Amino acid sequence: MIVTLTANPSLDRTVPLDRGLTRGEVHRAGAVTVEPGGKGINVARVVHYAGHPLRAVLPADPGDPILRGLDELMLPYRTVPLLGQVRTNLTLTEPDGTTTKINEPGPTPSPATVEALARLLVLEAERADWVVLSGSLPPGVPASWYADLVQALRPWGCRIAVDTSDAPLLALAAAFPAAAPDLIKPNSEELAQLTGADPEALEAAAAAGDPSATVLAARS
């Protein structure tokens, strides 16, 4: 079984515009879609579509609209109560493919909620082959939390993947080797955060079919 943690889930609202976005003007929207989101939930959706057993772990109030969305997708999940509604992330899409994203920070969970979420994750890890810690952390949660979770999960023998950025990624790397997961998935900007490399140079080399710059940065 694969267990995913989405500490800062979202409802992703996508609004297609009838023309290019112009500040200060009125625009007309096409068919708006609203779906459960957050990196961990996105991973869970792919795992579910692949037919693999999974459990999505997240904080959410029992009446939160995100849970109705998960039910519609038939994703197995477990939650801990969250005071406040899950955040909404807005994506504006233009006819030429240009997208503009506006992401809310999300509600600040109480220390009791954070502790309950960690306990639930460890409980689910007892039956897991992989645990995936993915996405941003909610406001008020220490940047070291993913590193702490990796160490808490280690005794259960599951493999651990982490996909995050900015302060949580740097805190995770600072806690190596004690908090080293089995897998991390940095993009060029995140790898640059860890190594000091130039993200544009990494992208350009990869686009030219030369992975050596990325390999060297990952080894540093």
Q: Provide the phi-psi class of 94: left if phi over 0, else alpha when psi is between -120 and 50, else beta.
A: beta
Residues 134 and 214 placed together within one structural domain of the fold: no
Residues 144 and 218 placed together within one structural domain of the fold: no
pLDDT band at 174 (very low <50, low <70, confident <90, very high): very high
pTM above 0.85, yes or no: yes
Residues 14 and 32 placed together within one structural domain of the fold: yes
Residues 29 and 114 placed together within one structural domain of the fold: yes
Residues 129 and 21 placed together within one structural domain of the fold: yes
pLDDT at 188: 75
pLDDT at 213: 63
38 pLDDT higher than 90: yes
- What number is the average pLDDT over the span 36-45? 97
Write the CB contacts of 36 (distance below 8 Å, at least 6 apart in sequence).
Answer: 9, 10, 11, 12, 66, 69, 70, 73, 75
Q: Give one DSSP letter per residue of 148-178, joined into a string.
A: HHHHHHGGGT-EEEEE--HHHHHHHHHTTTT
Bridging pattern class, strands 87-93 and 99-103: antiparallel
pLDDT at 191: 74
Q: Which residue range is the domain that position 132 belongs to? A: 2-185
Residues 127 and 193 placed together within one structural domain of the fold: no
Residues 117 and 59 placed together within one structural domain of the fold: yes
- What number is the average pLDDT over the span 75-86? 96
Residues 179 and 191 placed together within one structural domain of the fold: no
pLDDT at 119: 98
Q: Tell how many helices (H) and how many strands (E) occur in the chain.
A: 8, 10
In the structure encoding, which two tokens stand for residue 110, read together?
A: 């109480």
Q: Is 102 exposed, middle or buried (0-12, 13-18, 19+ CB in 10 A)?
A: exposed
Residues 132 and 197 placed together within one structural domain of the fold: no
pLDDT band at 35 (very low <50, low <70, confident <90, very high): very high
Q: In what order do the strands lie in the sheet with 2-5?
A: 77-80, 54-59, 2-5, 130-134, 159-163, 183-184
Residues 119 and 16 placed together within one structural domain of the fold: yes
Tens digit of each residue's pLDDT (9 = 90 or more) over 176-220: 999 999 999 887 787 777 777 777 777 776 777 777 766 665 666
Q: Is 96 exposed, middle or buried (0-12, 13-18, 19+ CB in 10 A)?
A: exposed
98 pLDDT higher than 80: yes
pLDDT at 207: 75
pLDDT at 53: 98
CATH code, 84: 3.40.1190.20
Number of domains in the chain: 2
